[in-house]
Amino acid sequence: MHYLFEPGLLASGPVRTALLIGVVVAVTSGVIGVFTVIRGQSFAGHSLADVATTGGSGAFLVGLNQFWGFLAAGVAAAALMEAIGVQRRRGRDVATGVVLGAALGAAALFLYLGTQQTSTTGASFTILFGSIFVVSADTVPVLIASGVLAILTVVVLARVLLLTSLSPDVARARGVNVRLVGAAYLIALAISVSLSAVAIGAVLSTALLIGPAATALRVSRSPVKAMAVAAATGLAATWIGIVLAYDSYYWPPHGHGWPVSFFVVVLVLAGYLPRPRPVARRSPHEGAECSPA
C-alpha cells in the first residue's frame, strides 16, 4: 500500500485540487458521454476537441486561462455544427478533417507565437495533454459551475433527448423543437470537452467522453443507471490516474513524473475491455419446464 500512496499524497494542495477537479470532469463527461454515444455523435465530440485545441492555444497567446479558450472555441464550433447539421454524411468526414486541419494549424501558430512572447516552455504540452496538477485554485469555482450547468442541462433534457434519439420524427410530431434541443445538448458537450481538456488535454479528452459511457452502456439497461455507471467509471479512472501520476515522481526517471493523461487513458481503455454480455433473454418456453399442477 505504501507504494500506491506515496508520502504526502493527500497533504499536497495541488493533488487535492486535482482530485476535486477530477470529480467535476469525470461526472460531467460520463453523463454527457452517455448521450453522445446514444446519439452517435462521438465524431462531433472528437471534432470539438480539436477545435478546443485552437481555442486553448489562442487563450494562451492572449494570456487568458486556457479553460476560457477551450470553452469559447467549443461553444462557437457547437453553434456552427448545429447550423450546418451534425449528421455524419458521405464526404463529410473529409470536409471536417480538412477544416479541422486548418484549426490545428492555427493552434500551431498560436502556440508558437505564445511561446515566443512569454518564453514559457511546456505550454504546448499542457494544452495538448493536460495540466490537472497546475490548475490554480481560483479557477476551481468556474470549473465546478460549468460542470454543474452542463449536467443540469442534460438531466433536464434527458427524456427529450432519449425520445429524439429513438425517433426524431416522433419527437417532432409531439411538438419537440428538435433543433433547439440538439443545440442545447451540443453546448453542454462543448462544456464537457473543455473540462476534460483542462484535466487531460484537448487531444486526449475524447477518452473520458466515450470510454466510460461505452462501458456503462454495455451493462446498463436503463438511462439513469447508464449515467451513474459512466460517472463512476470515469471518476475511478481519473482518481486512480491522479494517484499514479503522483506516485510516478518516484518512478524512473526520478523527479519527473508521468503525465496524468497517460494513466487516465490507459485506465479508461482497461475499464472498457470486453467482458461477457449480461444474461441473455429469458426463453419464452421457460414456463413449460414446470410440471402442470
Partner 1 sequence: MFSSLMMNTWIAASAVAVIAGVTGFFAVLRGSTFAAHAIPNGAFAGAAGASLLGINVIWGLAVFSIGGALGIGALGRKARHDVVTALALVLMLGLGALFVSVSTEYAQETYSLLFGEVFGVSSTEVQPIVGLGVAAVVLIGVAFRPLMLTSALPEVAEARGVSTRKTELYFLVVMALAASMTIPVVGALLMFSLMIGPAAAARAVTARPGVAMALSAAIALAVVWVSIVLSYRTNWPLGFFVGTAGAVFFVIAQLSTNR
Partner 2 sequence: MAQKAMPHDLAPAQEAPTARDDGPGLLTLDGIGVRFGGRQVLNDVSFTLSKGEFAGLIGPNGAGKTTLLRVILGLLQPSGGKVLVAGEQHLRSKQLIGYVPQKLVIDPDMPLRARDVVSLGLDGNKLGFSFPSRQRRALIDQALADVGADSYADHRVGELSGGEQQRVLIAHALISRPRLLLLDEPLANLDLKSEQEIVALLGKLAREHEIAVLLSAHDMNPLLHVMDRIVYVANGHVATGSTDEVVTSAGLSRLYGHHVDVVRVHGRVLVVAGE
Binding site for partner 1 (CB under 8 A): 37, 42, 46, 93-95, 97-99, 101-106, 108-109, 111-113, 115, 121-125, 128-129, 201, 203-204, 206-207, 210-211, 214, 253, 256-259, 261-262, 265-266, 268-269, 272-273
User: 221, 254, 256, 285: which one contacts partner 2 (CB under 8 A)?
Assistant: 221
Name which of partner 2, partner 1, none residue 261 binds, using a CB cut-off of 5 to 8 Å depending on partner kind. Answer: partner 1
User: 226, 237, 243, 267: which one contacts partner 2 (CB under 8 A)?
Assistant: 226
User: 156, 179, 251, 270: which one contacts partner 2 (CB under 8 A)?
Assistant: 156
User: CA 284 from chain center: how many Å?
Assistant: 41
Name which of partner 1, partner 2, none residue 102 binds, using a CB cut-off of 5 to 8 Å depending on partner kind. Answer: partner 1
Quote the CA–CA distance of 9 and 26 in Å, as a whole number.
Answer: 20
Q: Does 12 bind partner 2 (CB under 8 A)?
A: no
Name which of partner 1, partner 2, none residue 293 binds, using a CB cut-off of 5 to 8 Å depending on partner kind. Answer: none
- The full DSSP string for 249-281 is GGSSSTTT---HHHHHHHHHHHHHS--PPPPPP
Of the pair 35, 60, the CB lying nearest partner 2 is at 35
CA torsion through residues 128, 129, 135, 140, sign: positive
Distances (CA, A) of 290 to 25, 278, 284, 285: 51, 25, 13, 10
3-state secondary structure of 159: helix
Angle at 88 between CA 85 and CA 91, to 5 degrees: 100
Name residue 170's amino acid. V
User: 163, 183, 232, 266: which one contacts partner 2 (CB under 8 A)?
Assistant: 163
Q: Does 150 bind partner 2 (CB under 8 A)?
A: no
Quote the CA–CA distance of 142 and 136 in Å, as a whole number.
Answer: 11
Determine contact, residues 275/38, Cβ cutoff 8 Å.
no
Of the pair 226, 243, the CB lying nearest partner 2 is at 226
Binding site for partner 2 (CB under 8 A): 34, 37-38, 40, 155-160, 162-163, 165-167, 169-176, 214, 216-218, 220-223, 225-226, 281-282, 284
